[in-house]
Every structure is written in structure tokens, then in C-alpha cells.
Structure 1
Amino acid sequence: MNKDIVFIVLTSFWFLFGLIGCLAAKHFKERGVIRCCIILSAVCCWLLWVVTFLMQLNPLIGPRVNQRVIYGMMSYWKNSYMQDE
């Protein structure tokens, strides 16, 4: 699935969650507190998701492997670069 489609779908999900929650809060006595809790939970859940999503798009840390280990992987794996030659 395309990353833009995933971003739009899940952002719209959390937006609709907050909107429907605010509309449902009109039926309760403490509607201000309920609206605040629903909007705060929607924003925090969206923020948690978007930070995780963006961290997976461009990771800052990659695996660090010794040069001997890389040579060993290239020489022992059947589909490696050295076996193709």
C-alpha cells in the first residue's frame, strides 16, 4: 500500500474519531470534560501513530556489522553477489 494512502486513511480515521466523539458528547451533562478527553485522546493517539510511521520511513540507525561478517555472508549465502560471478 502506498505510504500517502496509509497516512491519509489513518489521519482521517483519528479526525473522524474526534469529530464523532465531540458530537456524541452533546448528550451528556459534562460535555466539556468529555470533549476535552476525546479530543486529547484522538490527538495523542494520532501523534503516537504518526511519529512511529515517520520513524519507519527513514530510520536513523542502521545495523552495524564488522567487515569480516559481511565477507562471510557474501561468500556463504547462495544468492549473494560473490556467488553470482
Structure 2
Amino acid sequence: MGAAAVPFIVFTVFWGGVGIVLPIIVPKGPNRGIIQVILMLTGVTCWLFWLCCYVAQMNPLIGPQLDRHTLLVMAKEWGNELK
């Protein structure tokens, strides 16, 4: 299973909208700068977290845990009998 372009594009556009578009349309007020920074940081960190989770699923570090009986059956069926 490799990387697909559609999820990458969809999530990049979504979090780009949160981090780029929404700060532009924040109404004027005393806390406008803080709200803009919060939205930008939210967009960047959420996109980065999603990207790390997405990439980690391409090559998982932990494989399936099989019991001894299953391993013996697999070895017999594949012609590699264990002694």
C-alpha cells in the first residue's frame, strides 16, 4: 500500500484553509493577532500530525503477532516444516 494523492491533497487543502484562509477573515478587534496566530499554529500542527500518522501507516513497525500453532501450520503449508 503506497501513498495516494487524493487524501494528501484533500487534507492539505483543508488544513491550509484553516491556517491561511481563516486568519485572513478574522474580524478586527483587540485579539485579532492572537486569533490569527492560533489558527495558523492549529493548521500547521494538525496537518503535521495527520501527515506523520498517514506516513507511519505505509510501513508499520509492528507486524502481526502469531501464536506457535499458527506458525507451525503456515510452515507446513508452505513446505518449510519446523523441527
Q: Comparing both chains, which one has the higher relative contact order based on Cα–Cα distances under 8 Å and sequence gaps of 6 or more?
A: 2
RMSD: 2.6
Equivalent residue letter for 2:26 = A
Match of 2:22 in 1: 21
Structure with the larger helix share: 1
| Helix, strand or coil at the partner of 2:63 | coil
| C-alpha distance in 2 between matches for 1:4 and 1:58 | 17
What do the CA deviations read for 1:52-76 (whole angstroms, capped 9, x no partner)?
100111112212435542233677x
Aligned length: 77
Match of 1:47 in 2: 48
| Helix, strand or coil at the partner of 1:60 | coil
Which has the larger displacement, 14-23 or 63-72? 63-72
Instruction: Give 5+ residue unaligned stretches, structure 2.
Output: none
Q: How far did residue 29 of structure 1 move? A: 2.6
TM-score, structure 1 length as denominator? 0.70
TM-score, structure 2 length as denominator? 0.71
Q: How far did residue 49 of structure 1 move? A: 0.7
Which has the larger displacement, 65-74 or 29-38? 65-74
Moved over 6 A (4+): none
Q: How far did residue 41 of structure 1 move? A: 0.8
